[in-house]
Amino acid sequence: QVQLQESGPGLVKPSETLSLSCTISGGSISTYYWTWIRQFPGKGLEWIGYIYYTGNTKHNPSLNDRVTISLDTSNNHFSLKLSSVTAADTAVYYCARRVAVRPVYSFDIWGQGTMVTVSS
Amino acid sequence: AIQLTQSPSSLSASVGDRVTITCRSSQGVKNDLGWYQQKPGKAPKLLIYTTSFLQSGVPSRFSGSGSGTYFTLTISSLQPEDFATYYCLQDYDYPLTFGPGTKVEIK
């Protein structure tokens, strides 16, 4: 049973870098897109980006290249760094596993989420 | 980016009711649309992928249909555990985008 668990600071100061990690347990990293998604306090969901098991990445252009996603295959975790944060980055951050092999396109496994507040 | 709209934004229904939620996209997404259920304080849970495929373990009262720009999620007989918020997600083009959600409440 694959499980994902986010970890990282719950409070980040404005202009600093938000750093989160997602530990993957119970399964392989291969063939999946390891993804970050966030949910704003008003409940809207936003796709942040992914790292494929090969190391390829893609992120949401709305984040203006503030995003870095990396993968540590030896320790089975992947990470998110979001730079120059503002209060608008306050959200619950989820890591999720995406399957993208036709006909299956889905986020089938999610972490429990971690709340990150940007405030001084 | 592809915009998704959902209707209604909320609804009140009784146990046993048939409920249909719609999701429209600003451009065609073929069949690359899924549905997720979220309960308070929990992560979204996959219900339906690629328009109509039921995720393993999801009750058969949930079904999905549609194509192109118009999709529906139907709950054939609403159960107490189905009261939640439902989101559609297009997985056709980047950036992937979610609908704003439909909250299903108890009448």
Q: Could you report the per-residue pLDDT of B3-23, keeping only the tens digit for each?
A: 999 999 999 999 999 999 999
CA A35 vs CA A81, A99, B67: distances in Å: 13, 10, 25
Euclidean distance between CA atoms A111 and A81, whole angstroms: 17
What pLDDT, on a 0 to 100 scale, did the predictor assign at position A79? 98
Segment A78-99, tens digit of pLDDT: 999 999 999 999 999 999 999 9
Residue whose token pair is 């995720």:
B55
What's the pLDDT tens digit per position in B48-60? 999 999 999 999 9
Residue-level pLDDT at A42? 85
- What is the rounded average pLDDT of the residues B26-40? 97
Whose CA is closest to A8, among A109, A108, A107, A93?
A93
Whether A94 and B43 lie within 8 Å, measured CB to CB:
yes
pLDDT above 90: residue B66: yes
Using the predicted structure, report yes or no on whether residue B65 has a pLDDT greater than 90: yes
Q: Please answer yes or no on whether B45 and A103 come within 8 Å at the CB atom.
A: no
> Which residues of chain A fall short of a pLDDT of 50?
none
Residues in chain A whose beta carbon is closer than 8 A to a beta carbon of chain B? 43-47, 58, 60-62, 94, 96, 100, 103-108, 110-113
Cβ of A44 within 8 Å of Cβ of B94? The answer is no
Q: Is B94 on the interface with A (CB under 8 A)?
A: yes
Mutation pick from B32, B48, B87, B96 vs chain A, by most beta carbons of A within 10 Å, is B96
